[in-house]
Amino acid sequence: MRYTLVGNGRMGQQVQSVIEASPEHEVHAVLDVDAAITAGSFAGSDVIIDFTVRDAFLANLPAMIDSGVPVVVGTTGWDDQVERISAQAREAGASLMYSANFSLGVNIFLRTVREAAKMIGSFDQFDIAFSEQHHTAKADFPSGTALCAAQMILDANPRKKTVLSALSEDRKIRPDELQVASIRLGSVFGQHAAHINSDFDDIVISHTARSRQGFASGAVEAGRWLATKHRSTPGFYTMDNFLDEVLG
Ligand SMILES: NC(=O)C1=CN([C@@H]2O[C@H](COP(=O)(O)OP(=O)(O)OC[C@H]3O[C@@H](n4cnc5c(N)ncnc54)[C@H](OP(=O)(O)O)[C@@H]3O)[C@@H](O)[C@H]2O)C=CC1
Ligand SMILES: O=C(O)C1=N[C@H](C(=O)O)C[C@H](O)C1
């Protein structure tokens, strides 16, 4: 499988080393910030993996779609555009897979949080909040993973209606607001936690990334899966679709 990588930062380099460690895969090209990207930039490639920044991803997307090569997007910070872009990909007969987090561990964690949020929804005594910690070079907040978890909690728990990502100095949080707190600290790879509280107990469900390798391995596996999917059923996919298929 020949991969073209868009972005050569922390994640681009980690994806490159995962691909180079596998006899089945090869890096076809790496397109960094200086590349003038057109549809032709992806010729000869089986999969594109994008780890850049919101604006670069949005600017390069038309060329990626026009190339007809399936695209795995790890870049976060564009959740407000997901509906428009998924429709655009479907209309073009392209394949695009987006996840704010390609780590298998994180996706298992997210499903656990969803189940917990659903269960506590039946009992008024429980409150829930979410937190994330990342390195100080991270551009977006809350993390894409935290936003994804927050949406799952809002969908699962009728007592939470909106996300509050920054507290106000002059008012209390409302019971129907879900606090999503962000900490930027040193070189933390990524830590996410759901915090549940009642008068009787505290439940904390958490995931801590031990390196960037889990994100990168997941993105490479997702690329292999998407390339196969693209041949039979092009479309817009997420890690949920991938996991549903793998888990049967
Ligand atoms: N889905 C997942 O599993 C994960 C997602 N992420 C997300 O991935 C993204 C990247 O993270 P990370 O690698 O840590 O960030 P980095 O800042 O280390 O890397 C981003 C890279 O993109 C480059 N870039 C900027 N504009 C363009 C462009 N137009 N064309 C090509 N390359 C460009 C930057 O170059 P320069 O620095 O020279 O501007 C930089 O090298 C973030 O949105 C992050 O949240 C991170 C980890 C896991
Ligand atoms: O920027 C990062 O580093 C990470 N970003 C992703 C996110 O925004 O959720 C995933 C991971 O936690 C690392």
Contacts of 235 (CB under 8 A, 6+ apart): 89, 90, 95, 229
Query: Catalytic amino acids?
Result: 134, 138
Mean pLDDT of the chain: 97
pLDDT on residue 247: 87
2-102+212-247 and 104-208 agree in CATH topology: no
User: Could you say which of 3.40.50.720, 3.40.140.10, 3.50.50.60, 3.40.50.300 is the CATH number of the domain covering 2-102+212-247?
Assistant: 3.40.50.720
What is the tens place of the pLDDT at every residue in 28-72? 999 999 899 999 999 999 999 999 999 999 999 999 999 999 999
Residues linked to residue 129 through DSSP beta bridges, in sequence order: 195
- Nearest Cα residue to 223 out of 246, 244, 242: 242
Ligand 1 centroid from CA 203, angstroms: 34
Contacts of 7 (CB under 8 A, 6+ apart): 31, 32, 50, 51, 52, 56, 75
Cα torsion 166, 181, 123, 162 to 10°: value is 40
What is the tens place of the pLDDT at every residue in 101-114? 999 999 999 999 99
pLDDT on residue 248: 85
Does the beta carbon of 75 lie inside 6 Å of ligand 1? Answer: yes
What is the tens place of the pLDDT at every residue in 145-161? 999 999 999 999 999 99
Which residue owns the Cα nearest ligand 2 atom 11? 190
**Residue list, ligand 2 pocket, CB within 6 Å:** 76, 100-101, 134, 138, 143-145, 190, 215
144 belongs to an annotated ligand binding site: yes
The ranges assigned to domains in the chain are: 2-102+212-247, 104-208
Q: Is domain 104-208 given the CATH code 3.40.50.620 in the classification?
A: no
